Amino acid sequence: MSPEPGDPVGALASQLEAAGALIESLEEEVARLRHDLEEARLALRAAQQEVSARGRALEEKERELREIREEMRREREASEAQHREELESLRNSSKQWEEELRRAYREQEERHRRELEELRRRAERERNDLESSLRGEFGRRLKEERARRERQHEDALHALRSASARRELDLQRDYQVVIESQQAEIEALRERLRQQEERAEEERREALREIKRLAEERERELKRAHAAKLEEVRAEAERKISALKAQKEADNRALRERHAKEVLQLRRTYEERLAAEDERRKQETWALQEHLEELQSRREAERRAYTARLKELEAERLAGRKENEENLERVVARFGEEISRLEHRISDLEDALKESESLRKRLEDELVELRGRLEARREPLVPTPSAEPDEELRQRLQELEAEKLLAEERIESLQEELATAREEGRRNAEELERALDKLRRLSEPEQRLREGIALFNASEHSRAVASISKALGLPRAHARIDEENGGKPVLTFVWEEIGWRRYVSDPTEGVEEPRVYLIGTGDSPEDLKPPENQPNARVDARGRLMLGVQAR
C-alpha cells in the first residue's frame, strides 16, 4: 500500500522498508565476504600444501643431483680406465708391429740368402751336368749346347733381375699394407717357391734323363763312326770346356758381385725405410701420447669446471630455497594476520548488523502500533481525540524521525565499512594471488624447462642441429630459464671454435606459433658469457637435447 501524500508515518514506513532492504543487501555482502574469506583460507591451505610438496620436490632434486654426481664420477673413472687401456693397447700394437716388421725383414733376408744359395747350387749342378755331357759330344753339339746354355743363362739372369725388380716392387707394396696381408703374401711366396723348386727339380731330372739318353746314343754313334777321331775331339772338348769353365767362372763372379751389390743396396734401402718407419712410428706414438695428455688435461679442466659449476648451482639452489622459504613464511604470516583482522572486522560488522536488525524490528513494531492508532483515529464512530494524544503522537513521530536519521547514518557508516572491508578483501585476494603465482613460478622452472626441451626435440630445429652436428661434431649445450624474457626456456648450442646458436622454446599453452624460434647466432664462442658457456645438457646424434652433462 503506497503512503498517502503528507502522511509522515507512511513515508517513515517506506523509508524503514528501504532500510530493511539495504540491511538485507548488507547481509548478502557480509555473506559474500565470508565466502571470500573461506576461499582465501582454502587458498592459503592449498599454498601450504604446495609449499610442502615443493619441499619434497626439492629433496627429490637433491637426491637426483647426488645421483648425477655419482654417475659423473663413475663415467669419469670408466673414461680414464678406457683411455689407459687404449694407450696400453696402442703401445702393445706398436711393439708388436715393430717385432713383426723385424721378423719379416729377417725372414726376407733369409729367403734371399736361400734363393741365392739355391741358384748357386743349381748353377753348379748345371755346370757339372754340362761338363759331363759335353765331353762326349762333338763341336757342333758343343756350340749349340753352349749357345743354348748361354741363352738360358741370360734368360735366368734376366729372370733373376726381373724377379728381383718384381720382388722389390712387391716388397714396396707389401710394406704399405697391413701386417695380415704381409703374412698372407709370405705364405703365398713360400708356396710358390716350393712349387718352383718342385718344377725346377722335375725339369732338372728330365733334362738329365734327356742328356743321358742323347749322350748314350751319341757315344754309340761316335764309337762306331768316329773311333779314330775320339782323341782329337776329346782334346778339343777339353780345351773348350776349360774356356767354358773360365767364362762360367767369370760370369759367376760378375753375377755374384752384381747380386751382392743389389742385395747390399736392397738391405740399405730396407734399413733406411725401416729406420724412417720406426722414426715415423715413434713420432706418431709421441703425438698420440701428447694428444692423450692434452685430452687428460682438458678432461681434468672440464671436471674441475663441472665440479665448480655444480657447487655454484648447489649454493644458488640452497640460497634460493632458503630465501623462498623465508618469503613464503613471511607471506603466510602476513596473510594469517590479515585474515585474523578480517575475521574480527566481520564479527564486528555482524554485531552491528544484529543491532541494526533489532532496531529495525523495534521500529517496525512501533510503526505497526502507530498505523493502528492512525486507523483508529480515522474511524467515523470514534470521537475526536484530545490534544494530549496528538501531542504525544507528534513527539513519537519526531523521535521516530530522529531514530530514522540515526539508522540512516548507521547504515551509511556500515556501508562505508563494508565497502572498505570489501576493498581490503579484494586487495588481500590480489596479493594472495600474486604470492601464489610467484610461488608457482619459483617452484616450476625445472618443469617448465623440461617442457621447453621436449617441445624443442619435437620441432624441426632439432633436425637442423643434428645436420650441423654431422659436419662439425656434437655441440656443448646449455638450457636455462630467462627471467628477462618472460621466464621462457632458452637453449644455447656451442660448437668448439666454430660458432653458436641460441633458441627460445616457449611451452606456454595458447601462444601463437612459432613456439620454437632462433634468437641468435655467432661465429665466436667467446661472445657467450656465463652461464651459457658452461654446459649443463647434452645432445645426441639426432639433435635431441637432454639435461645432464656427459663426459666427452
Tens digits of residue pLDDT in 496-529 = 877 889 999 888 777 778 889 888 888 887 778 7
The number of folded domains in the chain is 3
Cα 212 off chain centre by: 85
- In DSSP notation, 67-81 reads HHHHHHHHHHHHHHH
**Other C-beta atoms lying within 10 Å of the C-beta of residue 517:** 12
User: Of 390, 437, 400, 126, whose CA–CA distance to 252 is shortest?
Assistant: 126
Residue 407 has pLDDT above 60, yes or no: yes
- The HSE-up count of residue 66 (CA atoms within 13 Å, CB side) is 5
- The HSE-up count of residue 19 (CA atoms within 13 Å, CB side) is 27
Q: Which residues contact 101 (CB under 8 A, 6 or more apart)?
A: 179, 274, 277
177 and 292 within one domain: yes
395 and 336 within one domain: yes
Mean pLDDT of the chain: 75
Contact between 539 and 477 (Cβ < 8 Å): yes
pLDDT value, residue 503: 92
Residue 108 located in a structural domain: no
Confidence of residue 332 (pLDDT cuts 50, 70, 90): low
pLDDT value, residue 116: 77
Residue 365 located in a structural domain: yes
Residue 93 located in a structural domain: no
Q: Distance (Å, rounded) from C-alpha 420 to C-alpha 439?
A: 28
Does residue 490 sit in helix, strand or coil?
strand
Residue 528 located in a structural domain: yes
Least-confidence region, from 75-84, 250-259, 427-436: 427-436
Residue 152 belongs to what domain range? 118-301
Residue with more model confidence, 285 or 134: 285
pLDDT value, residue 385: 47
Span 93-128, pLDDT tens digits: 777 877 887 787 788 778 878 887 888 788 788 777
Instruction: Report pTM.
Output: 0.28
Listed residues 278, 301, 324: the one ending a domain: 301
58 and 165 within one domain: no
349 and 289 within one domain: no
pLDDT value, residue 134: 61
Does residue 149 sit in helix, strand or coil?
helix
pLDDT value, residue 382: 43
322 and 413 within one domain: yes
Listed residues 301, 325, 352: the one ending a domain: 301
Residue 449 has pLDDT above 80, yes or no: yes
Least-confidence region, from 184-198, 445-459, 496-510: 184-198
397 and 512 within one domain: no
Residue with more model confidence, 530 or 357: 530
Residue corresponding to grid cell 565476504: 33
pLDDT value, residue 540: 87
264 and 157 within one domain: yes
Please state the rounded mean pLDDT for residues 348-377.
Answer: 67
Residue with more model confidence, 330 or 404: 330
Q: 345-350: list long-range contacts, CB under 8 Å, 24+ apart.
A: 345/417, 345/421, 346/30, 346/33, 346/34, 346/37, 346/421, 349/30, 349/414, 349/417, 349/418, 349/421, 350/30
Residue 507 located in a structural domain: yes
Listed residues 410, 442, 474: the one ending a domain: 442
**Other C-beta atoms lying within 10 Å of the C-beta of residue 410:** 16
Q: Distance (Å, rounded) from C-alpha 316 to C-alpha 527?
A: 24
Residue 1 located in a structural domain: no
279 and 382 within one domain: no
Q: Which residues contact 230 (CB under 8 A, 6 or more apart)?
A: 222
296 and 155 within one domain: yes
